[in-house]
């Protein structure tokens, strides 16, 4: 019997997104074919969203289900809706901006002004520090991944990705990326996808906003921290 093909992607680039990100899930489900789409390979800037949606549409064509982690949830759901892709979606620690506020509008306005140039410089300085200070890199990664689940392979992969020449473009386009992150969407209304959350502060906030299931032993990256529990929620979707 052919393996179920699962499209997996995370919005936590550059820290996550390489083979080590999805290896725990592959180990827990050797009968599944987990194919990851690394969003780091989609250059930022003008037309980024359209290119990313096109890549998701193509990658989802042969998949039985989609597993989307973090900030990529909104783009995945938008793509599924716009392209009428009828595949089950499992959301892991999704981040959702569902309502516009004065604060969000003010932040977008500031990004369009002098703050934009400052943020680009801050992003470049942070990249240098991440490469020079392994402890700082681990601390940043632990914002998403529970510290005890950060393997040497995961940490090494994160460093290689941050050292990748493509990071230059991401630093230069940080204002564009932040503006997208701060723009509300209605794609989570009447959510049909199944959300799973960990116990991180942002997960707790998003769980209150979206509902779903909290995995007690996860933090902010359930596919790494609790892969068996993720599969327990994924398998019924494959049978539907």
Return the pLDDT at 1.
42
* Plot region of 37 (φ>0 → left; ψ -120 to 50 → alpha; else → beta): beta
Rg of the chain, C-alpha, whole Å: 17
pTM above 0.85, yes or no: yes
CATH architecture of 4-239: 3-Layer(aba) Sandwich (3.40)
Neighbouring residues of 219: CB distance < 8 A, sequence distance ≥ 6: 144, 145, 146, 149, 198, 199, 200, 203, 225
- How do residues 198-227 score in pLDDT, each as one tens digit? 999 999 999 999 999 999 999 999 999 999
Model confidence over 194-203: pLDDT tens digits? 899 999 999 9
Rounded to whole angstroms, how far apart are CA atoms 6 and 188? 22
- The whole-angstrom separation of Cα 123 and Cα 163 is 13
What is the rounded average pLDDT of the residues 54-80? Answer: 95
Dist. CA 198–CA 222, nearest whole Å: 7
pLDDT digits (tens, 9 = 90+) for 90-149: 999 999 888 899 998 998 888 888 788 888 889 999 999 999 999 999 999 999 999 999
Can you give the residue ranges of every domain in the chain?
4-239
Cis peptide before 14 (omega within 30 of 0): yes
pLDDT of residue 192: 74
- What tens digit of pLDDT does each residue of 8-52 get? 999 998 999 999 999 999 999 999 999 999 999 998 877 888 999
Q: Which of 31, 43, 39 is nearest to 59 (CA)?
A: 39
Report d(CA 88, CA 225) in Å as an integer: 22
Full DSSP string of 161-191: HHHSTTHHHHHHTHHHHHHHHTS--STTTT-
CA distance 77 to 191: 9
Confidence (pLDDT) at 223: 98
Place of tokens 């991440």: 130
23, 14, 56, 5: which is closest to 153 by C-alpha?
A: 23
Please write the tens of the pLDDT for every residue from 156-174: 999 999 999 989 888 888 8
According to the model, what pLDDT value does residue 176 have?
A: 81
């Amino acid at each position: 019997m052919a393996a179920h093909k699962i499209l997996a992607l995370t919005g936590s680039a550059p820290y996550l997104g390489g083979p080590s990100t999805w290896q725990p899930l592959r180990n827990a489900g050797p009968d599944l074919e987990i194919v990851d789409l690394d969003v780091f390979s989609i250059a930022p800037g003008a037309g980024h969203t359209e290119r990313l949606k096109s890549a998701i549409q193509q990658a989802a064509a042969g998949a039985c289900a989609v597993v989307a982690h973090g900030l990529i949830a909104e783009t995945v759901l938008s793509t599924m809706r716009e392209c009428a892709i009828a595949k089950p979606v499992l959301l892991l620690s999704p981040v959702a901006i569902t309502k516009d506020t004065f604060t969000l509008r003010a932040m977008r306005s500031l990004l369009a002004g002098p703050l934009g140039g400052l943020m680009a410089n801050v992003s470049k300085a942070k990249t240098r520090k991440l490469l020079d200070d392994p402890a700082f890199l681990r601390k940043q990664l632990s914002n998403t991944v529970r510290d005890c689940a950060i393997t040497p392979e995961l940490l090494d992969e994160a460093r290689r990705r941050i050292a990748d020449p493509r990071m230059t473009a991401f630093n230069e386009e940080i204002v564009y990326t932040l503006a997208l992150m701060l723009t509300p969407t209605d794609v989570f209304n009447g959510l049909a996808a199944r959300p799973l959350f960990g116990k991180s502060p942002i997960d707790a906030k998003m769980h209150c906003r979206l509902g779903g299931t909290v995995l007690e032993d996860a933090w902010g990256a359930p596919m790494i921290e609790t892969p068996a529990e993720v599969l327990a929620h994924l398998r019924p979707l494959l049978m539907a």
